[in-house]
Amino acid sequence: MSAKAAYKNALRSINVVFKNDIIVKQEAKLRIKNGILEKANLTKENEISQAVDELNQVGNFLLKNVVQGQLQPNGKYLLNFHDKTELGDNESIKQEKNEIGSLSGLKSKSIRICRVVMTPGSDQASRRDILISKTLSYLLRHGALKEKLDINAQGYISIPQLLQHQRLKSFKTTREDLERVVKENNKQRFHINLEKDAICANQGHSIPQVSGELEPMNKEELSRLQIFHGTYKKKLPMIKRAGGLSKMNRNHIHLTCEKFQSLSGIRKTANCLIYINTDKCIDEKGLKFWKSANNVILCCGNKDGLIELDCIDKIVDLTSGTSGTIDTIDTINTIERSEIVERD
């Protein structure tokens, strides 16, 4: 395929995805054009081929991961977001249904998507590693069965089989790439078992039969650590309506503590901490806690997948330094944040 044809293919995807949002569409087109100009002077056939492949990935990514809905009576287009994408369970792409709005209302999030996959001048190798890491998250945490990959109860998939998957082949992923991505991942999301020649995600699974390699935690250890869940203040009313912290579509609720949070278990932009009374969880609710290989503390909750509201000790507002109880949850001022980041 020629560069011109690849450019047209990417633009076609942009026009479909951002049909009614002129600003986002112009931004996306500009970034694609800049990408073309950057590659205009390539002469080696393999470099030209790689540049065309990269451009196609932009268009295909947007078209595959964002689905435009029907025109509503009020004149707005509603969007349908795939629950699982090639970037995994990604908050930059997926939203709660009641938060999905018009295309123009998604402007800031859409531009963020464009920046992830189209930013000219950024390090190409680094971007490729990010895409490989995101693909691993999806396949190892959520999509193994759908993608017909053999995954065992501990969450391991054979590396040779994984490398034959089309999504990783599209990035020309090698064994060395996998080893580098696993080693350099700042949250240690993955683990390679050399003896089994297999790879797993340390936590974050939504596949029911996958339990992962988890270490049970006892009440004494949990009491010393002061466990909390990091979230956003605007999510507090939803947590209260749900009756507590929910594991949602995952196998576990993700928790952490000050000792472990530098590695994983909390989003960097979280502005609210929900502290858990682990003694009550264990003694009165019969809940169990585990620790993953990368020190994320996990709890599957009760039969409904919840750590109930009465197990919450306090809620700390990181922006003001104030704290409250579950009874004052609605009195804590909520703030809207445009920063949506990848799940741990």
Residue that terminates a domain, selected from 176, 201, 226: 201
Residue 168 belongs to a domain: yes
In terms of domains, do 227 and 318 share one?
yes
Q: What is the pLDDT of residue 116?
A: 38
CB crowding 5-18: b at 16 or more within 10 Å, else e:
ebbebbbebbeebb
Positions of the chain with pLDDT under 70 = 1-29, 31-43, 45, 48-49, 51-125, 261-266, 268, 326-327, 329-344
Q: What is the pLDDT of residue 105?
A: 37
CB crowding 165-185: b at 16 or more within 10 Å, else e:
bebbeebebeeebbeebbeeb
Count of Cβ atoms closer than 10 Å to residue 80 Cβ = 12
Residue 342 belongs to a domain: no
In terms of domains, do 130 and 149 share one?
yes
Q: What is the pLDDT of residue 26?
A: 67
Residue 274 belongs to a domain: yes
pLDDT tens figures, 229-275: 998 888 888 899 899 999 988 899 999 988 876 555 567 678 889 99
In terms of domains, do 116 and 129 share one?
no
Residue 341 belongs to a domain: no
Q: Quick one: CA dihedral 253, 259, 264, 266, positive or negative? A: positive
In terms of domains, do 317 and 228 share one?
yes
**Domains: count for the chain:** 3
In terms of domains, do 60 and 29 share one?
yes
Residue 73 belongs to a domain: yes
Domain that holds residue 190: 125-201
In terms of domains, do 29 and 73 share one?
yes
Residue that terminates a domain, selected from 121, 147, 171: 121
In terms of domains, do 223 and 321 share one?
yes
In terms of domains, do 175 and 284 share one?
no
- How far is the C-alpha of 81 from the C-alpha of 71, rounded, in Å? 16
CB crowding 288-297: b at 16 or more within 10 Å, else e:
ebbbbbbbbb
Residue 278, both tokens:
């682990």
Check: pTM over 0.75? Answer yes or no: no
Q: What is the pLDDT of residue 27?
A: 63
pLDDT tens figures, 151-164: 999 999 999 999 99
